[in-house]
Chain A
Amino acid sequence: LAKTTQPISMDSYEGQEVNITCSHNNIATNDYITWYQQFPSQGPRFIIQGYKTKVTNEVASLFIPADRKSSTLSLPRVSLSDTAVYYCLVAPLGGSTLGRLYFGRGTQLTVWP
């Protein structure tokens, strides 16, 4: 499984755009990149998933360069409620390992008023 590296923590202010970058140098051809959000004492929540280039949904955007060795989660205009831990995961979307997720340390994002 590809190992991921993220900053341990980030700080931002309300209304700013936040970009969290994840490195995954050993990503395999059939691996997808998925980001999860976790609030204290809650289970993780799916944010976004992509394979290459750019993916956007109502919550965030995910930028993946051509070599796929890194990815950037972009949160537009964050609010206090975006304070959470964000996890970047790399895993295949099929096969016997589907659903078996190995979480790294994640990035603690703190949004200040």
Chain B
Amino acid sequence: GAVVSQHPSWVICKSGTSVKIECRSLDFQATTMFWYRQFPKQSLMLMATSNEGSKATYEQGVEKDKFLINHASLTLSTLTVTSAHPEDSSFYICSALTTGIAEAFFGQGTRLTVV
């Protein structure tokens, strides 16, 4: 299957700082990428949809100024958590779609801890 890689796998940052998470499709071109957040013992929650070269579409209740998404190429999307606070500590997961395949491929996730 297609491989989606996230970097870093885990990150600890201080409250008030920003942190960037990368999502890369390693062996295919991702027309669309998605970002999810998952709190402990809870399900995945879709945050936003990003298409290469255009602005991301955010789900209701997700602050677009806090969670900046950039999809600059067909293999890379980044999520920047700005001015992070402890309540932003979560597991962030991306997925990617490619043309002709109706299956989203997920990355391994990034554990963010804000202290």
Q: Number of A-B pairs whose CB atoms are under 8 Å?
A: 54
Chain A residues engaging chain B, CB cutoff 8 angstroms: 32, 38, 41-46, 49, 87, 93-94, 98-106
Chain A interface helix/strand/loop/mixed: loop
A99 and B106 in contact (CB under 8 A), knowing A87-B43, A104-B43, A105-B43?
A: no
Chain B residues engaging chain A, CB cutoff 8 angstroms: 1, 4, 6, 32, 34, 36, 43-46, 49, 91, 93-95, 97, 102-109, 111
A102 and B46 in contact (CB under 8 A), knowing A43-B106, A45-B106?
A: yes
In angstroms, Cα B4 to Cα A44, docked, is 12
Q: Of A45, A93, A106, which contacts B43 at CB under 8 A? A: A106
| Residue in A closest to B45 when the chains form the complex, CB atoms | A103
Please state if B43 and A99 are interface contacts (CB–CB under 8 Å): no
Please state if A101 and B95 are interface contacts (CB–CB under 8 Å): yes
| Residue in B closest to A106 when the chains form the complex, CB atoms | B43
In angstroms, Cα B45 to Cα A108, docked, is 17
In angstroms, Cα B103 to Cα A45, docked, is 11
Which of B45, B102, B109 counts the most chain A CB atoms within 10 A?
B102
Instruction: Identify the 6 closest CB pairs spanning chains A and B, nearest first.
Output: A43-B106, A93-B102, A99-B97, A103-B43, A103-B44, A99-B104
